[in-house]
A and B are shown apart, each in its own frame.
Chain A
């Protein structure tokens, strides 16, 4: 899986690259419009992550030219511009997703995964992790071939975990993933706790191993198998 991260802020580009590389993607970086344009002309990528404000040009322009050349590349915009017009424009020129800065790397990762799932697997859309199987189209979860009934938020939570295996996830990032970034109160953090408790119970009941570990002071980690 080849990816291109187009971001002029060096530190941020490095973080994204490092994070995604750990997930097994081959990542390249471009920090200017020209560099990105050149790379997109020379190589094929499965997915690109583009900042809209770039030295030397507009990210939207870059997407437009890319779309003309190869329509199959997945595109995620990361921008500090949180205007609806920008979001609409971004989707109009053919991007698949739009993340407003600052974002959680785990959230970006989840979006990349979901995008790749949508692009690659088409109809049969399954995520497998040991004894857990998720059918993302029908939103059904199976443990050892046995269906587990999860609530909407529990399902979203599980999918978020499955997109970020063996990664420490902060409670805030989980809360934001589930309820959007307006729910920043202590209540929503408590809610995260109660949802995780329920999810864990439902998975174990059906015979799954306990994959959710809490990390003191930070949040949770899924995996360790």
Chain B
């Protein structure tokens, strides 16, 4: 729910309930006032009546109009209480029921207790109450709608800089290396917010560029000495006068330095994926890429007597930077080959939404998911660095792919799916 929607909703709910309470309150007050007026007039008439019967004898045809006063001998058990009550009496002419306010009291006339009811028609008063209440309700309603509309416009305008900032942050992309440009709103809070965000984004951008530079530098600084070691070793092995021991030592140095440079490259690749330094995403047919890579490894498979079976229903297309797609494919294929057994199998199944690469191998001792961590290896074979699957996982995590590794009875499956 949007901020403005939320405040508007709260505001509307609050003012509506206030409106209902106010309308009800107003109605009650007006009603009370009018009843008070009617009742005080009825009391005056009662006095008039009492004065009249004191001076004159009461007759049914006295000057009182029909329905206005009713005198009858009291029948019920007497309680000489004055009571007011609302009552409906049928109109003589129109047959309508007309509301009346009635004052009932008891008075002795000609030595007999009589119950006297004086009435006043409430029809006009009721109309008055209705008219006043309706008018007031209408005015209040207009006021409510007006303030609601105004508040809506006002907050829309006040929050404008905030939404502006928000949309700019949304479009901000570190990899573009462009500073975040924010406006200077006149509201202090927003201005401060923009300042803070500006500072933060500048710092982030600065750090990002530093990190990128460091990644490049580290790569360069480490690769060069490694290249140097490799080159010197290669020169050294050209020498004819090496003893068997020396050859062995040199070979060990050579392997160690190669291993180190692979490690370095792997870790740098991971860092670069994490920093999202690959930006030129392209739509890539991963199933076709895997098929080609597997075809490229045909000799290797022949050598290990591995059976390859392909079932590609439809191409599995993903959006990836080409270099990472290459890395993903190579790592998956080399993993399927390296941990395979002689006379084993590799199966590639693909469809629009998923892709599975399966290979035979040894049963796992660790939970398969753990092998996605860096330097986590099954067994202690020194030929694998333990980075391949970590790279695969990192690529999948960063580019909206889900990867699952399962192993059942020595059949290892890597399944890729789109979406998180």
Contacts and interface: CB of A to CB of B under 8 A. Distances in A.
B227 interface: yes
Interface string A136-169: 0000000000000001010000000000000110
A157 B230 CA distance: 21
Given A153-B299, A185-B338, A191-B299, A168 B237 contact: yes
Interface in A94-133: 100-106
A65 interface: no
B300 A102 contact: no
A102 B223 CA distance: 6
Interface stretch (B50-58, B89-97, B258-266): B258-266
A194 B301 CA distance: 13
Given A151-B299, A191-B299, A218 B227 contact: no
B41 interface: no
Interface string A1-37: 0000000010110011011000000000000000000
A84 interface: yes
Nearest to A172: B258
A15 B220 contact: no
B219 A82 contact: yes
Contact of A170 (B227, B229, B231, B254): B254
Given A80-B223, A101-B226, A182 B258 contact: no
Interface in A52-78: 53, 78
Contacts of B183: none
Given A81-B219, A104-B230, A186 B247 contact: no
B321 A80 contact: no
B303 interface: yes
Contacts of A183: 300, 334
Nearest to B247: A217
A32 B343 CA distance: 55
A181 B244 CA distance: 27
Given A81-B219, A182-B330, A167 B238 contact: yes
Contacts of B383: 184-186
B237 A170 contact: yes
Contacts of A187: 300, 303-304, 337-338
Contacts of B300: 179, 183, 187-188, 191
A44 interface: no
Given A101-B223, A191-B299, A218 B247 contact: yes
A168 B230 CA distance: 14
B298 to A, nearest CB: 9
B248 interface: yes
A175 to B, nearest CB: 11
B262 A80 contact: no
Contacts of B221: 80
A92 interface: no
A189 to B, nearest CB: 9
Contacts of A181: 262
Contact of A103 (B220, B227, B280, B330): B227
A38 interface: no
Nearest to B385: A184
A190 interface: yes
Contact of B224 (A9, A179, A218): A9
Contact of A18 (B235, B258, B262, B280): B235
Contacts of B229: 102
A74 B285 CA distance: 34
Contacts of A167: 238
Interface of B: 216, 219-232, 234-235, 237-238, 244, 247-248, 250-251, 254-255, 257-258, 261-262, 265, 268, 272, 277-278, 280, 297, 299-300, 303-304, 321-323, 330-331, 334, 337-338, 383-384
8 contacts: A11-B232, A102-B227, A105-B230, A105-B231, A105-B235, A170-B254, A179-B300, A180-B330
Given A53-B220, A80-B220, A195-B299, 12 more contacts: A9-B228, A12-B231, A83-B277, A102-B258, A104-B234, A105-B230, A167-B238, A170-B254, A183-B334, A187-B338, A194-B303, A217-B251
